[in-house]
Structure 1
Amino acid sequence: MNEKKRPMIFCDFDGTITVNDNIVAIMKRFAPPEWEAIKDDVLAQRLSIQKGVGQFFRLLPSSLKEEMTEFILDDAKIRDGFGTFVEYTKKHDIDLIVVSGGMDFFVNPLLKSYQLPIYCNQAKFNEEKIRVEWPHACDCHCTNECGCCKPSILRKIGEGRFTIVIGDSITDLQAAKQADFVIARDFLLEKCQDLELPHASFQTFHEVIQILKDKEVTA
């Protein structure tokens, strides 16, 4: 890596820090069948992520807040090695930022013990149906309606840094395109290969630590 630049890691949450996608898990458990068509439209890029996720949660009554939170806290599984990875970044003074298209009501409690900066969406329960707010929406350089716009966050706080994106899905792709290096799995890995982005693959965070060591990523 370029030793003149301090590293900053932008790490996805759903399907990356956690083994499964928590929004999908919520929809499968609580949503009416209409959510499937919305999901298909998002994956086919006929519907933006922001509009799709917003429509997902408008299917759900706000009265489900406590039940959904308990469900996710019980259902979510943190990927092997994540705690060790967090300790490694802190020991080596590497800035680790969580950027998530998920909702604050489950992202924050699941990550509370790790004490990390978190950028995510906000779910509001003061109406009959759940409403999503987007505190990290797209900047003037992005028109993709990302919801939590990862490339915009990267531009805002990653300028002048050696930026690394860790992720797995379509929500990570635009940030991966502008990062210096990508650590990827699943859909994102395929896209990195197709687009010939500088990358490495991973399944556990123990492997991520080894990748950082191999690339001599240090502050």
Structure 2
Amino acid sequence: MDGSKLKIFIDFDGTITAEDVGDAIFRKFGDSVKAEAIINDLHNDKISSRECWDLLCSLISNIDENELNEFIDSIEIDNYFHAFVTFCRANKIDLFILSDGFDYYIKRILEKQNLSHLKYFANTLEIVNGKFIPKYPFYNPEYRTSANPKRNHIIDNSSDDDYTFYIGDGHSDNDAAQYCDYIFAKNGLLKYCELERISYYPFKDFNDVTERIKELLSRKRLKKRHQAQIIRKHAYEAE
């Protein structure tokens, strides 16, 4: 393949982890019926991602941190993610985790998995007197599908010369995926790509991703996705 720098941007909840950790926390420790209704409103575009998190956090009034941490520690990650990280390191491919979830559980899960060296961007969460206090350091009201607009991190951490991959599964990935050359999609993101006629590669786990990237790297040249090039160019020029 050519000399382009490879960059991979990865969703966290439901992509690296076996389930959506943020949603699972609120279903377990909040009012599960209310939590489900709020999450459905987000997926049906009735509320923004930030509104969704604010409403979900308001359901938590007296959290036991030890119980919360035990629950987070029970979360499993994709069986092939460690091997994928090793593969990327060996091939000098940069990885960035882009999450619309919270640093509180991402940091804990990555540390438990001995993956704390991975760079991530997320919303922040503090626990004060048993209550969840969310903060959104990267918030931009123009992007409703994510309180932490992933598209911005892709633009900030790549250039026109790079070849970019996106790996995701859900609602918060919709805007971001459009800016990348090659999309690995499942679940909600897959449906979105089909609806919007965005080319993608379906995957079920990170073994699928690794094998496909190996295949792509064996080629002399990686072809950039034309539509992604156009919108990235506009974004870089606007910076």
TM-score higher than 0.5 here?
Answer: yes
**Deviates further, 152-161 or 11-20:** 152-161
Larger radius of gyration: 2
Q: Does 1:130 align with 2:132?
A: yes
Contact 1:137 1:145 in 2 (8 A): no
Residue matched to 1:38 = 38
CA RMSD of aligned residues (A): 1.9
The verdict on how the C-alpha distance between 1:61 and 1:163 changes in structure 2, with shifts beyond 3 A counting, is same
SS in 2 for 1:23: helix
**Deviates further, 60-69 or 160-169:** 60-69
For residues 27 and 44 of structure 1, what CA distance do their matches in structure 2 show?
A: 18
Residue matched to 2:120 = 118
For residues 47 and 185 of structure 2, what CA distance do their matches in structure 1 show?
A: 24
Contact 1:51 1:145 in 2 (8 A): no
Q: Does 1:184 align with 2:185?
A: yes
Q: Does 1:211 align with 2:212?
A: yes
Name the aligned partner's letter for residue 154 of structure 2.
L
Name the aligned partner's letter for residue 52 of structure 2.
G
For residues 13 and 217 of structure 1, what CA distance do their matches in structure 2 show?
A: 28
Contact 1:138 1:147 in 2 (8 A): yes
Deviations 1:11-55 (CA, angstroms, capped at 9, x unpaired): 011110011111121122111132222112101101001110121
Residue matched to 2:73 = 73
For residues 41 and 166 of structure 2, what CA distance do their matches in structure 1 show?
A: 25
Unpaired runs of at least 5, structure 1? none
Report the TM-score when normalising by structure 2: 0.83
**Deviates further, 128-137 or 60-69:** 60-69
SS in 2 for 1:173: helix
Shift of 1:116: 0.3
TM alignment of 1:78-117, pairs within 5 A = 78-112=77-111, 113-114=114-115, 115-117=117-119
SS in 2 for 1:97: strand
The verdict on how the C-alpha distance between 1:205 and 1:175 changes in structure 2, with shifts beyond 3 A counting, is same
Q: Does 1:11 align with 2:43?
A: no
Q: Percent identity?
A: 26
Shift of 1:128: 5.4
Deviations 1:66-120 (CA, angstroms, capped at 9, x unpaired): 321211211x111120000000000100001111112112111111212200111
Residue matched to 1:167 = 168
For residues 217 and 150 of structure 1, what CA distance do their matches in structure 2 show?
A: 29
How many residue pairs end up in the alignment? Answer: 214
Contact 1:62 1:125 in 2 (8 A): no
SS in 1 for 2:128: coil
Shift of 1:178: 1.4
SS in 2 for 1:24: helix
SS in 2 for 1:110: helix
Contact 1:138 1:145 in 2 (8 A): no
Contact 1:62 1:126 in 2 (8 A): no
Contact 2:145 2:174 in 1 (8 A): no
SS in 2 for 1:93: coil
TM alignment of 1:48-63, pairs within 5 A = 48-61=48-61, 63=63
SS in 2 for 1:34: helix
For residues 23 and 63 of structure 1, what CA distance do their matches in structure 2 show?
A: 14
For residues 51 and 39 of structure 1, what CA distance do their matches in structure 2 show?
A: 10
Runs of 4+ in 1 over 3 A off after TM superposition: none
